[in-house]
Amino acid sequence: MRAPEQLQAIRDLAEGGRSLAIEKEAPTAKDVLAFAKEHDARMVDLKFTDMPGTWQHMSMSLRSLSEDDFEDGLGFDGSSIRGFQEIAESDMLLMMDPSTAKIDPFYSEKTLSLICNIIDPITREAYSRDPRYVAQKAEKHLASTGVADTAYFGPEAEFYIFDHVAFDQQNYMAFYEVDAEEAYWNVGKGFGEGGNLGHKPRSQEGYFPAPPMDTLGDLRAMMIIVLEALGIATEFHHHEVGGPGQAEIDLRFAPLLQMADTLMTHKYVVKNTARAAGKTATFIPKPIFEENGSGMHVHQSLWKGGETLMFNKDGYALLSDLALSYAAGLIEHGRSLMAFCAPTTNSYRRLVPGYEAPVNLVHSQRNRSACVRIPMYLSSPKAKRVEFRPPDPLANPYLAFSAMLMAGLDGVERGLKPGDPVDTDLYELSPEELAKIVNVPGSLAEAMDALEDDHAFLLKGDVFTQDLLDEWISYKRAEAKQVDLRPHPWEFPLYYDG
C-alpha cells in the first residue's frame, strides 16, 4: 500500500470500536486463539527481544498454531541473534506469553502478535541471556526481599521525526544526513511540491509551539490512537525542544515487566506509524549536532499492598527515607548503570554539559540538571516518585529497568543516603564545587569499565548472571571499537592541512 492508504488502514483498524489487545485476565492459549478468531486474524507474529534491545520476529499462518505450541514452544536459530548462542548450540524455543496477545495494526493481513520468552530445548530452562527473563527475575527478587511487592516505571522516550535520512560508510568515505520539513535550516529554500511555508521552530526552541509551527501534532495523535487501541495508556504528547521534529509521548506508569513490554510496543508503533505517513522516526540519542538529544527520563516508585512507600510529608521533597535510599542507590551505582541505560557510543554525544543532559550524579527537587530529580508537580502521596534522567531510549528496557531497580534496592537494603541535594543550577557551580561531584562516564568504553568494577548488586537473586554481564561487556566493547577504528568526518577539517 502507498503511505496515505496504509495510514488510513491503520486508522480504520485502531478506531474500529474493538480493542486490539486481549482483555481477559490471565488468558490461556485457548483464549488467545478465540481472540484471534474474533478478529478474523490469518497470521501470527512472534516477537522477542535480542540482547541490544531490538525486537526480532518470525511469522506463521494462524492455522498452523495450536494450543500445544504454547506449552511445547516453537523453534528458531539462536546463533543468528545478537548476543545469543554459538552456532554449535543454536537451537532454541520461543514460549508465547498469552497475556501479550494483540492484533498488529501494521500488516495488510490481520495478524495476531505475541511477545515471547526464550528457553533451552534440551533443559527446558529459561535462557539466561533472554532480556525479558531478566525483568521477570527482577520482579520476583523484589517480592522476595519483602521491601516492596511492586516497582512502577514510567519512561519518557523522546524521538525525532524526519522526512529524509541517508547514511553510508565505506573504507574511502562516510556520511550521514537527515532532513525535516520543520527544520530551521530549510527556512531559506523551497521544500517539496508545496514550497516553503515558513513557521519552522528555531534551533533548541521546539518546546510546546502551537500549529502551524508544530506540524506533527496530528501524527503524534495518530500514534496515541494506535497505542490506546493496543491497550496502552498514555498521557501528554508534545513537540520537544529539538527544533527539527523532536517529539515525546508519555506513557502511564506500570509495573516493571509490563512497562518494558509496553515501551517495546511504543517504539514499534512510533516507527511504523511514522513510516505509514511517509516519514521516519528514530530514537537515536543524538542525531543532530548542537540540537537537543533524545533522552528517556525514567520515573520509578516502590509500592507494597497497594500503598506507596515513597511519601513522607516531612521529608525532603516529600520523600520517605526509603525513597531517599532508593535514590542514593541510583547515585551510588550511577556510573555502572550507564552500561545499560546509555548503551551506545552515540549516547555519549548527548551526555555532555548543556542541552539539559544530566551528567552529574546528585539529586534535587525540580532541578532538571540533576541526574536524580524529584518531580514536584503534585503533592499527592500516590504521585511521589524519583526520576532518573541519564538513560536514553536505545536502552534495552528489560535490562535497564531491572538494573535501576537493583541499584535502588541496594540503596534501600544498605540504608544509603544520597548526600545533600543540589537545588541550584549545576552548570553555574564553580569548578571547585563541580570537582566534588561524580559524573557519569564520558564514553561507552568508560561505562563498560564502570560495570566491570561495580556489578555485584546486579547478581543478587540471580537477576543478572555473570554470563550475561560478560557477553554484554564484550559485545559493547567491540561496538565501541568499531567506531574508534573509523576516521571521523570532522577530523578532515581539523587535520587535513597539517
Residue 483 C-alpha cell reads as 567506531
Catalytic entry in 129, 132, 297, 363: 297
Clarify whether 297 is annotated catalytic.
Answer: yes
Strand partners, 299: 154, 387
Catalytic entry in 387, 392, 410, 455: 387
Clarify whether 248 is annotated catalytic.
Answer: yes
Clarify whether 368 is annotated catalytic.
Answer: yes
Catalytic entry in 389, 392, 410, 455: 389
Clarify whether 220 is annotated catalytic.
Answer: no
* Phi-psi category of residue 80: left, alpha or beta, with phi > 0 → left and psi -120 to 50 → alpha: alpha
Smallest CA-to-CA distance from 401 within 325, 330, 474, 455 is with 330
Catalytic entry in 156, 181, 261, 410: 156
Clarify whether 158 is annotated catalytic.
Answer: yes
- Distance, first Cα to last Cα, the chain: 53
Residue 228 and residue 226: Cα distance in Å, rounded?
5
Clarify whether 177 is annotated catalytic.
Answer: no
Residue count of the chain: 498
Clarify whether 335 is annotated catalytic.
Answer: no
Catalytic entry in 130, 240, 332, 410: 240
Residue 349 and residue 359: Cα distance in Å, rounded?
12
Residue 396 and residue 203: Cα distance in Å, rounded?
29
Q: What's CA 214's distance to the chain center, in Å?
A: 24
Residue 325 and residue 319: Cα distance in Å, rounded?
10
Residue 37 burial (CB count, 10 A): 11
Clarify whether 181 is annotated catalytic.
Answer: no
Residue 123 C-alpha cell reads as 533443559
What's the per-residue H, E or C state across 138-168? HHHHHHHHCCCCEEEEEEEEEEEEECEEEEE
Residue 153 and residue 256: Cα distance in Å, rounded?
6
Catalytic entry in 248, 261, 332, 392: 248
Catalytic entry in 42, 141, 349, 368: 368
Clarify whether 129 is annotated catalytic.
Answer: no
Catalytic entry in 12, 67, 77, 235: 77
Q: Which residues are catalytic?
A: 77, 156, 158, 240, 248, 297, 368, 387, 389
